[in-house]
Amino acid sequence: MNSSVITFPGSNCDRDMDVALKKFGFKNKMVWHNNIELPKSDVVILPGGFSYGDYLRCGSIASKSKIMKSVINFAKGGGKVIGICNGFQILVETGLLPGVLLRNKYLEFICKNVFVKINDQDSLYFRNIEKKTLELHIAHNEGNYFCTKEQFKEINENNQIALFYSDKEGNVNEINNPNGSIKNIAGIFNKEKNILGMMPHPERMIDPALSGEDGSIFFKNLINNLK
Amino acid sequence: MKVSVVITLKKDVLDPQGKVIHQTLDGMGFEGINEIRQGKYFEIDTKENNKIKAEEKVEEMCKKLLANLVIENYKIIGSQ
């Protein structure tokens, strides 16, 4: 399985992602944002960080970078693309995913572990996953998912919500909503479900000594599903 | 030609920064503020001398990059 992680100026989770992908069996390539061509990839990852210092709007400048033209073509052709955190912000700015990520409701940068409930367990990214809720890490200032009423109707009808913020048991309620996201949305798919954007960082939860192992569950399942 | 554009959040989008600024001004004794909405201001100096053409170009820039139309509105407020 070949993966590519795109590095933008200001990305800071790209190397963590590289370590995580390799640990679970991917042959990963790091791709600089100024490249035009995307290496042959089974999955492309847009990592977390602060691309272009979050200038203008988070992810907006990166969404117009050279490599993104290839990533957009790849995604439109059915290629698998995952955006984590800033990568999610970049995906909504390209228009590949609906909605936008606003400033957190209480204006705080949030850095903590959260639980997320997997909404669609039949989807490519979460099929056969062994747990229904995962403990993952979030670290963001703009993770407050927002979309128009029309967009929400469409997302809901097409079952495009990937992850909800929840408690350990998978209960989705306002108490477990860290940032004010509509309906506790932590991650969404595009309509065809080959593109996934999510705020939590699975790559930060792959070592029991440092964090937790629910990220390992995500990556093990990912490589099995892509085979 | 210099074109000025203001970008603001749409009405139904929460603006927590505007809210905090509002509360702070209240606390400083500025009375009678109904609401504060924070926005962005751009001054775009272009080589185009035709006002209509320059504004058309800026409008395209707003749609493609400067504003995110899911949450923001843009308004050209002047050209000179």
DSSP string, B14-49: --HHHHHHHHHHHHTT---------EEEEEEE-S--
* Residue A153, pLDDT score: 97
CATH code for the domain in which residue A151 is found: 3.40.50.880
Helices A86-94 and A66-76, packing angle to 10 deg: 80
Q: Please give the Cα distance from A121 to A50 (Å, whole number).
A: 30
Which of A:70-129 have CB within 8 Å of B?
Answer: 93, 99-100, 102-103, 105-107
Query: In this model, does residue A211 exceed pLDDT 90?
Result: no
Contact state of A57 with B68 under an 8 Å Cβ cutoff? yes
Q: What is the mean pLDDT of chain A?
A: 96
Query: In this model, does residue A206 exceed pLDDT 90?
Result: yes
Whether domain B2-79 has CATH 3.10.620.30: the reply is no
Concerning whether A201 is annotated as a catalytic residue, the answer is yes
**How many percent of chain A have pLDDT more than 70?**
100
Q: What is the pLDDT of residues B14-27, one digit of tens each?
A: 888 899 899 999 99
Query: In this model, does residue A189 exceed pLDDT 90?
Result: yes
Judge whether A55 is closer than 8 Å to chain B, CB to CB: no
* Catalytic one of A85, A135, A142, A147: A85
**Mean pLDDT, residues B37-45 taken together:** 96
Position A32: which residue type?
W
**Mean pLDDT, residues A185-208 taken together:** 97
Residue A113 — pLDDT band, cuts 50, 70, 90? very high
Q: A3-12, A157-166, B20-29: which has the minimum mean pLDDT?
A: B20-29
| Shortest Cα distance, chain B CAs vs residue A73, angstroms | 18
Q: Are A59 and A97 in contact (CB under 8 A)?
A: no
* Residue B76, pLDDT score: 97
Range of the domain at A208: 2-226
The domain segmentation of chain B, as residue ranges, is 2-79
- Picking from A56, A64, A148, the nearest residue to B70 by CB comes out as A148
Query: In this model, does residue A123 exceed pLDDT 90?
Result: yes
Residue A171 — pLDDT band, cuts 50, 70, 90? very high
Residue in chain B nearest A56 by alpha carbon: B66
**Mean pLDDT, residues B38-58 taken together:** 96
Provide the 10 A C-beta neighbour count for residue B1.
17
Residue A97 — pLDDT band, cuts 50, 70, 90? very high
* Residue A26, pLDDT score: 98
Q: Please give the Cα distance from A23 to A25 (Å, whole number).
A: 6
Residues in chain B within 8 Å Cβ distance of A56: 65-66
Contact state of B68 with A103 under an 8 Å Cβ cutoff? no
- Cβ neighbours for A213, distance < 8 A, ≥ 6 positions apart: A205, A206, A207
Among B71, B72, B74, the residue to mutate for chain A (most A Cβ within 10 A)? B71
Q: What is the pLDDT of residues A40-93, one digit of tens each?
A: 999 999 999 999 999 999 999 999 999 999 999 999 999 999 999 999 999 999
Concerning whether A33 is annotated as a catalytic residue, the answer is no
* Residue A21, pLDDT score: 98
Q: What is the number of structural domains in chain A?
A: 1
Residues in chain A within 8 Å Cβ distance of B13: 102, 146
